[in-house]
Structure 1
Amino acid sequence: MNTDYLIKALAADTMQPAMKFAYVWAGAVVLAIAVAVVVFFATLGLRPDFVAAVQTPRFLFKFVVTIALAAGAFIPARVLSRPDGRWRKAMPLLLVAPILLAVAVVVELSVLPSGLWASRMIGKNSMVCLTYIPLIGIGPLAIFLAVLRYEAPVQQTLAGAVCGLFAGAIAATLYAAQCTDDSPLFVATWYSIAIAGLALVGAISANVVARW
């Protein structure tokens, strides 16, 4: 056999699993977003003043945080889903969204009178938030758990938790378009609790569905 041909064949063999892995995750993300969008518009839809709200910085910042979390969770979720993944290097990406939110909370506390802190944190839609972020995110989480089962991760609990964060971030991004509580204090409290709930479900479920 020609040496050059053999080298190319071996290279192709090593590339195929990586390409297949990328396609699996790409398909999972597209499907997860589609499922979340369908659930969101079937149950909630956009807030009535959406066009006006887009012009306000607090409303837009909610998307900065949730999209940063989604982007930051995607790579660790991918890496953790592989048995040979070097996940430790990817984990710092999860810190971007909390840091942004912490800065926003400090700014919010500095510009708001202290008498308004509690009301802005509690908001008007805390129970709606705690209900619909998990409801919108459970479908995407199930899809990501199916990927974990397919890929067989070593760190099942951690992989499931990160997939829960990813699913929660997708759900929170959509929910933010309906939520009328725009204060970073509200986001830091109730969005975080709702997303953490999905992370917990993901961590527990991954130990069952992704064990090998």
Structure 2
Amino acid sequence: MKTDDLIDMLARGPDVRVDAHRWRRFLVPALLGLAACVLLMQLLLGTRHDIGRALLLPAFWIKFCFALVLSVVGAFAVRKVSAPGAKLGGLAPMVGLPIVALWGLAAWVLWQAPPDARAALVWGQTWRVCTVLIVVLAVPVFIAALVAIKKRAPTRLRTAGAAAGLASGATAAMVYCFHCPEMSPAFVGVWYVLGIAAMTLVGALIGPKVLSW
């Protein structure tokens, strides 16, 4: 099917609307990767003991929605750049908008906080492991994204790999929210973003090697 996809995409252009069957090619690996990510989180870390109370706090939903938005943008990027000759188009600014918004909120929170409390808002208690755990949890989603991309015969391999890294890192951050005790937007704006950025960089580096066809 990869050769057929290539011929079809070259004939009709990379921006053609995909049908339901092609969406399923991405949906199934995505759901499997997400399920594996959740299972890995439960096996390694578990859900925070006070998750019921955390779900009532706006700060939890801020960090969750931040990761969710980036995960959705990453998923669309994966689907888009997997086609031969495809470009990100308007998706690139959409990656930066939630990050800038979060950093703006973090700056406001730090400005409102007493000077002696600002360091704790940035470093929290888990800064040593947060980024690493996001990267570890992202692995199954990353593999699933690479499998889905490779089936479509991409030509921009580095960009496609970066898109897979972005999607997997953001999805892992979203799942990690249910374990992480940190609530400060400043913490999320540093250590969550670093975890997502690390996966994006990994994807860009290994994309040309694993996605070549």
* TM-score when normalising by structure 1: 0.87
Does residue 1:67 correspond to 2:65, yes or no? no
Structure 2: distance between partners of 1:204 and 1:148: 15
Q: Which residue is 1:140 aligned to? A: 141
SS at match of 2:154: coil
When structure 1 is superposed on structure 2, of 143-152 and 60-69 the one drifting more is 143-152
When structure 1 is superposed on structure 2, of 85-94 and 134-143 the one drifting more is 85-94
Query: What do residues 27-48 of structure 1 show as CA deviations (whole Å, max 9, x unaligned)?
Result: 1211111111110111111111
The structural deviation recorded for 1:69 is: 0.7
Structure 2: distance between partners of 1:179 and 1:16: 38
| Counterpart AA for 2:88 | W
CA RMSD of aligned residues (A): 1.9
The structural deviation recorded for 1:17 is: 6.9
Contact 2:110 2:121 in 1 (8 A): no
Does residue 1:200 correspond to 2:189, yes or no? no
The structural deviation recorded for 1:16 is: 11
Contact 2:107 2:186 in 1 (8 A): no
| Counterpart AA for 1:43 | L
Structure 2: distance between partners of 1:76 and 1:28: 15
Contact 2:166 2:197 in 1 (8 A): yes
Contact 1:72 1:96 in 2 (8 A): no
| Counterpart AA for 2:110 | L
Q: Which residue is 1:125 aligned to? A: 126
| Counterpart AA for 1:185 | A
Structure 2: distance between partners of 1:173 and 1:21: 25
Q: Which residue is 2:152 aligned to? A: 151
Query: What do residues 117-151 of structure 1 show as CA deviations (whole Å, max 9, x unaligned)?
Result: 11211111112212211111011101111122211
Structure 2: distance between partners of 1:94 and 1:16: 22
Structure 2: distance between partners of 1:200 and 1:116: 32
Runs of 4+ displaced beyond 2 Å: 14-21, 84-87, 89-93
Aligned residues: 199
SS at match of 1:151: coil
Structure 2: distance between partners of 1:91 and 1:196: 14
> Between Structure 1 and Structure 2, whose CA radius of gyration is higher?
1
Structure 2: distance between partners of 1:141 and 1:210: 12
Unmatched 5+ stretches in structure 1: 1-13
* TM-score when normalising by structure 2: 0.86
| Counterpart AA for 1:190 | W
Q: Which residues of 2 match residues 16-165 of structure 1 at below 5 A?
A: 18-165=19-166
Contact 1:161 1:202 in 2 (8 A): yes
Task: Name the % identity.
Answer: 27
Structure 1: distance between partners of 2:173 and 2:67: 6
SS at match of 2:151: helix
SS at match of 1:31: helix
Structure 2: distance between partners of 1:200 and 1:16: 29
